[in-house]
Amino acid sequence: MTRTVLSVTDLVAGYEPGVPIVRGASLTVREGEIVVVLGPNGAGKSSFIKAIAGLVPIFSGTVMLDDEEITKVPAHQLVRRGLAFVPQTENIFPLMSVEDNLKVAGGMLDRRDMTGRIEEMYGLFPDLRDKRRIAAGNLSGGQRQMVAVARALMVRPKLLVLDEPSAGLSPKFVSMVFHMLADIRKAGVTILLVEQNAKAALAIGDRACVLVEGRNAHEGRADALWDDPVVAELYLGRRHAAGPSASDKPMPEAQP
C-alpha cells in the first residue's frame, strides 16, 4: 500500500468568519499520484487548495501532510515541510529576474545546493536558462508558467499543488504544461492539480474529485470519472462519448 502524502478531512474554510466557501471537502493524495480537482466555476476549487496551502483561513477540518498535521501551519512554513503551491495568477515576481525568482524561493537551501538546484531547473526548463537575467514579467505566458513551476520545485517538494496551470495559455503551451507535469511526476513528485481542462487533466491524472459548492460531489479513478455519464454531462461539459483514448492523451513518451 502506497503512502498517503496528503489527506484532507471535512475541510471548512473561507475568507470571512461565518462565510464558508469550502464546506466540508475531503481528499487524499498518495505518493506518486496525480490527483485532479474538477468542478464548475466558483465551486471553491481555488479556495480549497489555497486553504491547504495556508492562504485561506480554515474554520474546521484537518489537513495532514505525511502524518503531520498542517492545518494551522502558516503558509511560509509549509514550503519547508514539503508542500509547494503554484497559484493560478500572479505566480511569479514580475520585476525580478528569472534567476532571482528561483533564488528567492530557495532561501532555505545552502549556497552550493542552491546553485545546483538552479542548474537542475534549467535542465528541466532549458528555455529559462537563456532568459535567466530577464525580468520574469517580460516572458511569454508559457515561460512565465515554467518560472512559476520551477520556483515551486526549487525546494524539492514532496507535493506540488497547482491551480489551473493551463488557464489562459495557447493550445501549444497547454500541451507543454501537461507534458511538464507528467515529467515532474516521473521525477518523483506527487501532484495535486486543479483544472478546467478536464480532458487533458483526466488523461494524465490517476484519480479525481469533482467539487461542487465547496463539497465533493463525485470522486474516483480518472478514467472512471471520465466515463461516468452523469459527471460528464453535469461538470465536464461533455455529452457522454468514448473515454480518452491513448491518442488523446497528451502524456509524453519517456524523454531522454
The interface mask with ligand ADP, positions 45-74, x = CB under 6 A, is xxx---------------------------
Strands 190-194 and 159-163: parallel
Cβ(250)–Cβ(235) below 8 Å: no
CB atoms under 10 Å from CB of 233, counted, come to 12
Choose among ligand ADP, another protein, Mg ion, none what residue 213 binds, the Cβ cut-off being 5 to 8 Å by kind.
Answer: none
- Residue numbers at the binding site for another protein (CB under 8 A): 53-55, 74-77, 79-80, 85, 87, 90-96, 100, 103-105, 107-108, 151, 155
From residue 189, how far is each of 4, 32, 131, 183 by CA, in Å? 13, 6, 25, 9
> Whole-angstrom Cα distance, residue 180 to residue 246?
18
Give 44 or 106: the residue with its C-beta nearer to ligand ADP. Answer: 44
> Whole-angstrom Cα distance, residue 26 to residue 155?
26
Chain positions 23 to 82 lying near Mg ion, rule: CB under 5 A, are 46
Choose among another protein, Mg ion, ligand ADP, none what residue 55 binds, the Cβ cut-off being 5 to 8 Å by kind.
Answer: another protein
Q: How many CA atoms lie within 13 A of 123 on its CB side?
A: 13
Q: How far is the CB of 44 from ligand ADP (least distance, A)?
A: 4
Q: How far is the CB of 157 from ligand ADP (least distance, A)?
A: 21
Give 99 or 163: the residue with its C-beta nearer to Mg ion. Answer: 163
Chain positions 24 to 43 lying near ligand ADP, rule: CB under 6 A, are 39, 41-43
